């Protein structure tokens, strides 16, 4: 067993060699939750963050699945792309209210070449955004 120190969303500080059948101890530093995961399943470990009302600036530690239960329009600002290389945020609108979720890049960063993405306004609208270290790209979306 190898201990992995770091964050669920961006496993960091890994040392040594592990095989697919090794168990890895994963510690989510933002919540203190610890779990064991087979190394073969590390790519499927996804942190879930629940957001309610109000605008918010996301952190690197919140990468993973972001469930948004908003009843009024809100803007979520992504962290800087430079510190988020390879991280994905999958947004799911959980409420039936026709209140849009706008996701905005940090400072002047873009999402698919636009200043923001504001098309999630129906229940279960889902989209995934990933950083390449410079900008953000939508890699998947299901918008009603």
Decide if 34 contacts 25 (C-beta within 8 A). yes
Question: What are the φ and ψ backbone dihedral angles of 113, each rounded to 5 degrees?
Answer: 85, -5
Per-residue pLDDT 10s for the chain (144 aa) are 344 444 444 555 555 566 667 666 666 655 666 667 666 655 555 688 999 899 999 999 899 999 999 999 999 999 999 999 999 999 999 999 999 999 999 999 999 999 999 999 999 999 999 999 999 999 999 999
Q: What is d(CA 84, CA 139) in angstroms, rounded to the nearest whole number? A: 15
pLDDT in tens, 45-81: 568 899 989 999 999 989 999 999 999 999 999 999 9
pTM of the model: 0.71
């Amino acid at each position: 067993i190898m201990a992995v120190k770091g964050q669920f969303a961006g496993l960091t500080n890994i040392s040594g060699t592990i095989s697919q059948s090794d168990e890895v101890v994963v510690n989510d530093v933002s919540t203190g939750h610890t779990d064991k995961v087979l190394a073969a399943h590390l790519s499927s470990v996804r942190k879930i963050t629940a957001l309610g009302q109000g605008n918010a600036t996301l952190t690197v530690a919140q990468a993973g699945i972001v469930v948004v239960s908003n009843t009024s329009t809100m803007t979520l600002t992504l962290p800087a792309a430079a510190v988020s290389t390879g991280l994905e945020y999958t947004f799911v609108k959980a409420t039936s209210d026709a209140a849009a979720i706008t996701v905005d890049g940090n400072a002047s960063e873009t999402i698919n070449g636009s200043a923001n993405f504001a098309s999630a306004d129906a229940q279960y609208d889902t989209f995934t955004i990933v950083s390449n270290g410079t900008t953000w790209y939508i890699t998947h979306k299901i918008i009603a």
